[in-house]
């Protein structure tokens, strides 16, 4: 363990509050799946957080596999993970990170942090799985300082009608039950705009970038910003 890791290891902890969600079977499968696809996902994770600085809130940290991609300009990461099994894995990842990471339980719709306390919020396949996208984004807006940035990587609806129909059928049947509440056809960009964020650079991509397209292949990667001259909306 390096010096920086040793200094910050004691700051990583799980707090004894109730879990927001419990998906123990999915969590074990998800942890294995994330490790398998990391060679493909690593460049996306690096791009997601490139250039960030100051205090960062990561919502839905999962196994914490993204912690190793934060640049040294980040002074602190507070990582929210509502699922107990995933949070335990994320705690181990936080101890190995080169930046200070504090892993805590909590739900995106009721973040256990102060208002306007963060320079950036990171969302990685979060809006697809929260119970209320509107409430989650109101919370993101609340905790960001004016002018603060959102970095997002999210599932989105497919461009073709046929695949959208397949996504819709999955969303209304087995997919959310089997995959931790995930919905494939939500409109992340539209939801961010509706919540009052200014969209920055963003691009559509498919994961993985080769081979046949699957209903879960369609994603968007980008940035948004809380306007600097506006307060919290009611």
Q: Could you list the residue range(s) of the whole structural domain that residue 212 is in?
A: 3-225
pTM for the model: 0.85
- Residue 226's pLDDT is 97
What is the token pair recorded at 75? 């002074």
Does 231 fall in a domain? no
pLDDT by residue (tens digit) across 125-143? 999 989 999 999 999 999 9
Task: Note the helical H segments in the chain.
Answer: 3-9, 24-49, 84-96, 133-143, 161-171, 175-178, 188-194
Does 234 fall in a domain? no
Does 233 fall in a domain? no
CB atoms within 10 A of CB 146: 14
Does 232 fall in a domain? no
β 74-80/54-59 pair status: parallel
Does 97 fall in a domain? yes
The average pLDDT across 6-16 equals 35
> What CATH number is given to the structural domain containing 122?
3.40.50.150
Does 143 fall in a domain? yes
Does 215 fall in a domain? yes
Domain count, the chain: 1
Residue 38 pLDDT > 60, yes or no? yes
Does 127 fall in a domain? yes
């Amino acid at each position: 363990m390096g010096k920086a890791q040793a200094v910050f290891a004691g700051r990583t902890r799980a707090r004894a509050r109730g879990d927001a969600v419990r998906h123990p079977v999915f969590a074990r499968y998800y942890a294995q799946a994330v490790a398998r696809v990391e060679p493909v996902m690593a460049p996306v994770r690096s791009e997601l957080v490139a250039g960030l600085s100051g205090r960062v809130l990561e919502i839905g940290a999962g196994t914490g596999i993204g912690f190793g991609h934060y640049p040294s300009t980040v002074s602190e990461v507070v990582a929210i993970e509502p699922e107990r099994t995933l949070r335990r894995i994320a705690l181990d990842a936080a101890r190995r990170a080169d930046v200070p990471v504090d892993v805590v339980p909590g739900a995106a719709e009721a973040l256990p942090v102060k208002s306007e306390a963060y320079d950036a919020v990171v969302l990685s396949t979060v809006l697809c799985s929260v119970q209320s996208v509107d409430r989650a984004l109101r919370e993101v807006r609340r905790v960001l300082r004016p002018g603060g940035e959102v970095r997002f990587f999210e599932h989105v609806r497919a461009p073709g009608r046929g695949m959208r129909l397949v996504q819709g059928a999955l969303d209304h049947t087995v997919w959310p039950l089997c995959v931790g509440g995930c919905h494939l056809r939500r409109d992340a960009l539209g939801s961010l705009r509706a919540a009052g964020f200014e969209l920055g650079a963003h691009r559509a991509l498919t994961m993985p970038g080769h081979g046949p397209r699957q209903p879960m292949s369609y994603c968007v990667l980008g940035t948004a910003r809380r306007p600097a001259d506006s307060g919290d909306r009611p």
